Amino acid sequence: MDGHGEMGLIGENFDPGFVGRMKEDGYEIRSESDNFDVPSGDDQDAAADGPSKKKKYHRHTPRQIQELESFFKECPHPDEKQRMELSRRLGLEGKQIKFWFQNRRTQMKTQLERHENVILRQENDKLRAENDLLKQAMTTPICNSCGGPAVPGEISYEQHQLRIENARLKDELTRICALTNKFLGRPLSSSGSPIPPHSLNSNLELAVGRNGFGGLNNAGTSLPMGFEFGDGSMMPIVKPMVNEMQYDRSAFVDVALSAMDELIKMAQMDNPLWIKGLGGGMESLNVEEYKRNFSSCIGMKPSSYATEATKATGLVYLRGLALVEALMDAVCHLVTFTLYVMLVKLFSVLVEMVLLNRWVEMFPCMISRAATIDVLSSGTGVTRDNELQVMDAEFQVLSPLVPVRQVRFIRFCKQHSEGVWAVVDVSIDPSQDATNTQMFPNCRRLPSGCVIQDVDTKCSKITWVEHSEYDDSAVHHLLQPLLSSGFGFGAHRWLATLQRQCDCMAILMSQDIPGENNTGITPAGRKSMIKLAQRMTYNFCAGVCASSIHKWDKLSVGNVGEDVRVMTRKNINDPGEPHGVVLSAATSVWMPVTQERLFDFLRDERMRSEWDILSNGGPMQEMVHVAKGMGHGNCVSLLRGSAINANENNMLILQETWSDASGALVVYAPVDISSMSVVMNGGDSAYVALLPSGFAILPGISQSYHGGRSESNGALVKPEIDGSIVSGCLLTVGFQILVNNVPTAKLTVESVETVNNLISCTIQKIKAALTVT
């Protein structure tokens, strides 16, 4: 068998014991360790004259198995010349090589077919259960309009109409719950349970009041109680699911105050608490000195966790209050509405509300999603002073080899004086949140945040502190030095991202942008094109990091390397993507070149033919260039290549690139001319269907940089240049491909092999073009 055929999705329902059951059912698999001895001519003659003998088995050596498996991953179907070369190199006969590859392909095909049978059996059981439920429902029919018995019996006409109205309102509530769940990723109860009267007055009566935190125990300070519509009417709201967050709010206030004190001290202290990096950049924490000065406000560190703590300071072109507004503005918290009759009117308001998330937009590629779970204090005035929130967030490094960090924490904002604010985050102690004890087990956020000080009317000084404890056992050894040094999630990256975003906003508000080519694009089109590029980059990061923005099914295929993550999902109704089965593949590799050289090569449209199959072997031309900052290569471009046939004349490449001290990014997607014409004239970009691919470049970090791990893979870490950044970088390659435009179609082995080969070939072409190995 040649391995062709359909493959079931190997996702959450994967049964690791099914290979063992195969052997029990009679499948004897010997492709990895055993093979038949091939008899010689003399043996055959002897066998013809004498009694029949049992076939003998030949057991391959571990080295032979390793060589064969390695070659199988690259080429499952070797030709005669390749088999002879393997035979010579491994000391095996040609038929033994041939039989081994046949057995290996048969083994992989059998495993996939067996797993597909398991999935089909599970689906059959589900259908049987649904059939039983339908049979039961037929015995007790109900009214489709009101949910009551099919025969109303003795109830009055008015009661029946009330039931119908109640059913309609419940349906409206269910639709709004589905909408919030789609955007916020957490369920909103659609039950019509009555809301306690005290919830409607939601005054925070917390018996604390120290360090100026008067807003928390002032009976006159309450949460905002409604949305104001255009006609002046108000929609009362209350906090979501009253019994969902079971914690002592007064204890949260104590933790917030303690965390704020620690953040201020850590931001102000220098040596010996902080160890300066070479060149005066990011500073790393002296852990022993920290233990002498502070005590943990969220409990003891788990024994298996590693610690990372960094500090960075810089100027940003943004007023302090504007930054505070962005930091405190995650997706608005879920709400339970008391007046069901206004649900239809609220629907459009809710859509606008959940799409607004300035914190995520301020830090693209770092935050995959965020939501405010509860507001314990709304603060005073427009300054957000004493505002206290409970939040969920997912933080990411652009590599499939680093797990997404999911954290639930409290965020506290305080204005210390005129033009000076501090915003601090600290994880919720599991003992204070009994309902979420094991919710986010891979990371704890110790007091972290920023101190913001206005310098003048245009800019502010930021001192950023990041302090976390995390489980590094799930981090690939190639990325461990990056995280332990603080360059992965540290203050350096947060500040660099914030500076780049502020520069971008300043450029976009400028009327005269040097070097920008806006030929054929209106000002509204410029804005629409940037919005489309932001969505493209956001989806690229979600595919590389496997964040919960999309529901991915992870695939495990024998001939795909361990460092390559392959996932799939189905798009049925999202107009921003092609409908069908989407396959995503990503990996990270070491590149022995500098970040600047690699970034310049990948973003150069003239060199694109060296690695991109979409270029059709020729250079590309930049049609539109929209600058997004004064930095090197920070822009959105529209590229056009040389077409081989008339059908390809309609294809363009939308590309976004940026580079800063924390890394670089090159993301692109093919788009058609008609869609981009609408966008460049200011049309809505939400209906432009695209699937992004691209590259993320991360700094290469030496193991010895402030406690780097000696057990990391030393062969992949190059000698230092300045003590921190080595003469190389990490390259993440990610592709998202539509493999079938029918959402119900099954994924095939050939599709997985195609995207795996695409990644491998692209990396090899880049290395060859840069003359590196």
Averages of pLDDT over runs of 10 residues in the chain (773 residues) are 38 40 40 42 45 61 85 85 87 88 89 86 86 74 59 59 77 71 52 38 31 35 33 35 54 90 91 75 83 83 86 90 85 37 37 55 89 86 86 92 92 92 87 50 89 90 93 87 87 91 80 58 86 93 86 80 88 87 93 92 91 80 86 86 61 91 93 89 89 93 45 33 60 93 85 89 93 75
Strands annotated E in 592-724: 621-627, 635-640, 651-660, 663-672, 693-701
Beta bridge partners of 390: 374, 410
Q: Are 444 and 468 in contact (CB under 8 A)?
A: yes
Measure the CA–CA gap between 283 and 313, rounded to whole angstroms: 9
Q: What is the pLDDT of residue 667?
A: 97
DSSP element (H, E) containing 468: strand 460-471
Structure tokens at 193: 């349970």
Q: What is the pLDDT of residue 765?
A: 93
The amino acid sitting at 758 is: L
Q: Are 735 and 754 in contact (CB under 8 A)?
A: no
Q: What is the pLDDT of residue 37?
A: 44
CATH number of 71-111: 1.10.10.60
Q: What is the pLDDT of residue 62?
A: 85
Return the residue matching tokens 């003992």: 431
Question: Among candidates 621, 654, 626, 627, which has minimal Cα distance to 640?
Answer: 621
Domain ranges of the chain: 71-111, 249-429+441-509, 523-702+726-770
Q: What is the pLDDT of residue 520?
A: 64
The CA dihedral of 604, 610, 615, 617, to the nearest 10 degrees, is: 140
Sequential DSSP letters for 69-87: HHHHHH-SS--HHHHHHHH
Q: What is the pLDDT of residue 264?
A: 93
Strands annotated E in 298-437: 305-316, 336-337, 367-380, 385-395, 405-417, 420-427
Q: What is the pLDDT of residue 759?
A: 92
| CATH topology classification for 523-702+726-770 | Alpha-D-Glucose-1,6-Bisphosphate; Chain A, domain 4 (3.30.530)
479 to 407, 584, 659, 712, 716: CA distances (angstroms): 20, 21, 20, 9, 10
Measure the CA–CA gap between 284 and 704, rounded to whole angstroms: 13
Q: What is the pLDDT of residue 176?
A: 72
b/e 362-373 (16+ beta carbons within 10 angstroms → b)? bbbbbbbbbbbb
Q: Are 595 and 699 in contact (CB under 8 A)?
A: yes
Measure the CA–CA gap between 137 and 133, rounded to whole angstroms: 6
**DSSP H stretches of helix in 559-664:** 595-603
What is the architecture of the domain spanning 249-429+441-509? 2-Layer Sandwich (3.30)
Domains 249-429+441-509 and 523-702+726-770 equal at CATH topology level: yes
Question: Among candidates 206, 137, 278, which has minimal Cα distance to 701?
Answer: 278
Structure tokens at 449: 């945040």
Measure the CA–CA gap between 197 and 575, rounded to whole angstroms: 42
